[in-house]
């Protein structure tokens, strides 16, 4: 019998890694970070956790990564998703995130 899939829904603000950078991320809420951290003892490289993410009508697989600086997991949001969903730095988006087994 398998484990129940961990699924979270939340809102977060898109931010850019550096002022001149192209990488954009979302910071997971503290309660979501704590729950994922507690319930996924087997993490991949760099402490990453594989996830499936939905923003608007875009769904993709990626990983969330721990940020010691922010004390949270961060989620990369690729350009194709930002373009498709019309979101950019500073925008608040609704996220559905499912931890992959």
Domain architecture of the chain: domains with CATH: 7-99 (2.40.30.100)
Under 8 Å CB-to-CB from 20, ≥6 apart: which residues?
Answer: none
48-96 pLDDT, tens per residue?
999 999 999 999 999 999 999 999 999 999 999 999 999 999 999 999 9
The whole-angstrom separation of Cα 36 and Cα 83 is 28
- DSSP 3-state of 5: coil
Contact 73, 28 (CB under 8 A): yes
The whole-angstrom separation of Cα 16 and Cα 37 is 24
Predicted TM-score (pTM) of this structure: 0.87
User: Which helix (H) or strand (E) is 24 found in, with range?
Assistant: strand 24-27
């Amino acid at each position: 019998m398998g484990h129940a899939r961990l699924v979270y829904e939340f809102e977060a603000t898109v931010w850019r890694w550096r002022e001149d950078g192209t990488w954009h991320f979302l910071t997971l809420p503290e309660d979501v970070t704590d729950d994922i951290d507690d319930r996924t003892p087997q993490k991949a490289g760099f402490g990453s956790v594989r996830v499936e993410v939905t923003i608007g009508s875009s769904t993709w697989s990626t990983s969330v990564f721990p940020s010691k600086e922010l004390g949270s997991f961060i989620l990369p949001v690729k350009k194709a998703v930002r373009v498709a969903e019309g979101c950019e730095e500073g925008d608040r988006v609704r996220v559905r995130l499912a931890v992959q087994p």
